[in-house]
Amino acid sequence: MENLSEVQTQVENQLPAIADLRDQVQLTYWSDHHFIAQTLLDQLPFGEILGSYRFYQYIDYQLPSLLEAARRNLLYWILTDICQYNGTPADQISLFYDETFLWHYSVPAFWEEIVMQIRQGNRVRFLSRFLLLQTQVEVEFNKIRLLTTGPIGYQFIYTDSKEYSYSFNASLWETTIQNHKFVLINPTQYTLPITQPNAQGREIEYQAQLTRIQALPNNIHVQAHYWDSVDTTPDITLEGTTQASTPLSKYQRSREFQFASPATAINCGCGIDICHCDNNRQPGTPPTPSYLLLWDPQVTSRPLDGVHYNRRTGA
């Protein structure tokens, strides 16, 4: 019995702190149960406005931490016998952003800065969905854009953006671009935010969450020298040997697909998913699969729907 008690104590010590989803006003959820690991919740910036700096910082560096927290959450469900309504063990959960909090609390608090960044051509996003299954993880971001309402007036709208999915079996992240058009003002396809808030009598809780977000570092402001000040960490090549990647500053990395001027020996321009360097691939990049059609921004001004980033017909 003493050994069993010790084992139980050790197991409890390994369990993460738990959050009750019913207490969260920045998100909604689709699940039969209400409990999630706090460490996982901390990795999901629901309700925050994500500028280019914060978004790519999250995608480039925080996804491994998200996976680790997701695995611990799955383990927590198993060890604590969290079950669904039919008595089967919990094995999935879907989280979504809360429309009232985002559009009637968070966005208005940063209205002027969001408009300024979009008018300057910088993308502004928000986390819209998170899915956790036994087999995979999915995170999806939507993009805030502007719709003109008069000579100097704007209304916020939003469009699909990017979805990142990770398969535990394949140990691989895949990226799906839902909308890769560059128009940030007056796009042709968009969704209108809700016009009437529904705080469900929890205005105090909503305001407290907004205060917490406002106290965070500025997630919207674009730091012009960010990409020039960050060196990539050592990478594992396809041969399994370790080599240091070239500092990003040498490639004049730009997430907005603004090509660098040929002032240096290496002339490179990088967008969200492709780099073009003097007609050569960036060192260390694996060959492009034969079934993919890549977009060369120096030839065409934008990707062609149904052609670029997609498989050829019949492939």
- Between 305 and 141, the more confident residue is 141
**Mean pLDDT, residues 236-248 taken together:** 31
Q: What pLDDT, on the 0 to 100 scale, is given for residue 228?
A: 46
Q: What is the mean pLDDT of the chain?
A: 74
**308 within 8 A of 293, measured Cβ to Cβ:** yes
pLDDT tens profile 287-299: 666 656 666 666 6
**Mean pLDDT, residues 271-280 taken together:** 49
Taking every pair of C-alpha atoms in the chain, what is the biggest distance, in angstroms? 77
Q: What pLDDT, on the 0 to 100 scale, is given for residue 293?
A: 65
Q: What pLDDT, on the 0 to 100 scale, is given for residue 250?
A: 28
At 17, the pLDDT band (50, 70, 90 cuts) reads confident
Q: What pLDDT, on the 0 to 100 scale, is given for residue 285?
A: 54
At 46, the pLDDT band (50, 70, 90 cuts) reads very high
Most confident of 175-189, 192-206, 222-236, 261-275: 192-206
* Residue 212, helix vs strand vs coil: helix
Q: What pLDDT, on the 0 to 100 scale, is given for residue 283?
A: 47
Of 124, 135, 3, residue with least CA distance to 54: 124
Instruction: Give me the sheet containing 154-167, strands edge to edge.
Output: 27-30, 92-97, 124-133, 136-148, 154-167, 172-177
Does pLDDT of 145 surpass 60?
yes
Amino acid identity at 266? I
Of 294, 290, 295, residue with least CA distance to 315: 290
Least trusted range by pLDDT, from 53-57, 164-168, 181-185, 265-269: 265-269
**Mean pLDDT, residues 16-22 taken together:** 86
Q: What is the DSSP string of 78-111?
A: HHTT-B-TTSSBP-EEEEEE-HHHIIIIIHHHTH
Exposure letters 296-309 (e unless 16+ CB within 10 A, then b): eeeeeeebeeeebb
**71 within 8 A of 78, measured Cβ to Cβ:** no
Does pLDDT of 229 surpass 50?
no
Does pLDDT of 19 surpass 70?
yes
- Between 221 and 253, the more confident residue is 221
Cα–Cα dist 250/2, whole Å? 61
- Between 35 and 137, the more confident residue is 137
| Torsion sign over Cα 69, 75, 76, 82 | positive
* Alpha-helical segments (H) within the chain: 2-14, 38-41, 52-57, 63-79, 99-101, 107-109, 111-119, 203-214
**Mean pLDDT, residues 216-243 taken together:** 46
Least trusted range by pLDDT, from 9-18, 148-157, 215-224: 9-18
Q: What pLDDT, on the 0 to 100 scale, is given for residue 144?
A: 95
- Between 228 and 201, the more confident residue is 201
Amino acid identity at 204? I
Most confident of 86-100, 133-147, 214-228: 133-147
- Between 272 and 56, the more confident residue is 56
Does pLDDT of 173 surpass 80?
yes
Most confident of 40-44, 166-170, 276-280: 40-44
Of 42, 40, 39, 74, residue with least CA distance to 168: 74
Q: What pLDDT, on the 0 to 100 scale, is given for residue 295?
A: 67
Residue 110: phi and psi, rounded to 5, are -120, 25
- Between 55 and 161, the more confident residue is 55
